[in-house]
Structure 1
């Protein structure tokens, strides 16, 4: 059985609603919408309950693998770890005005 714990990979603020969503099998986005709507409607206990859960709920024991800064990242814009190479200017004759 899954343990109730804060989510590290589905966290917006503290990971409380992500952890509750994982535990109960509910989409965390739906829980976030419910909490925001309940807060604006005037149910005043949503913020203190959220903060209490953030303090009481344990963190997940699963370690999320984060890419190290030394690994090369692929991007549609090229390699992000390298500086772009500058193209050398072409030599043009002094009396050649054909570009204008």
Structure 2
């Protein structure tokens, strides 16, 4: 039995489909989701988490490399 390994996909910010920093588009591309869905989830999450999701977004902006 042989297993074929796929190359690891990079976890990067999008440079082409961005509104603010490309974090949501990068996450959507990595997980195979619609970027608008991720953006909406971040906005709603920021409102209901009292800014915790917004802080995570800023951390991802700083830590994720740009494609």
Report the TM-score, using the length of structure 2 for normalisation: 0.81
The Cα of 1:46 is off from its aligned counterpart by 0.8
Q: How does 1:21-100 map onto structure 2 within 5 Å?
A: 21-41=28-48, 43=49, 44-60=51-67
Instruction: Please provide the CA RMSD for this pair.
Output: 0.9
CA distance in 1, matches of 2:36, 2:61: 17
Task: Give aligned pairs, total.
Answer: 59
Structure 1 unpaired stretches of 5+: 61-100
The Cα of 1:38 is off from its aligned counterpart by 1.4
Structure whose alpha-carbon radius of gyration is higher: 1
Matched, 1:19 2:26: yes
The Cα of 1:2 is off from its aligned counterpart by 2.1
**2:5 corresponds to which residue?**
none
Give the helix-richer structure, 1 or 2: 2
The Cα of 1:23 is off from its aligned counterpart by 0.5
Deviation sequence 1:20-70 (CA, Å, 0-9, x none): 0001101110011011111222x031111000000000110xxxxxxxxxx
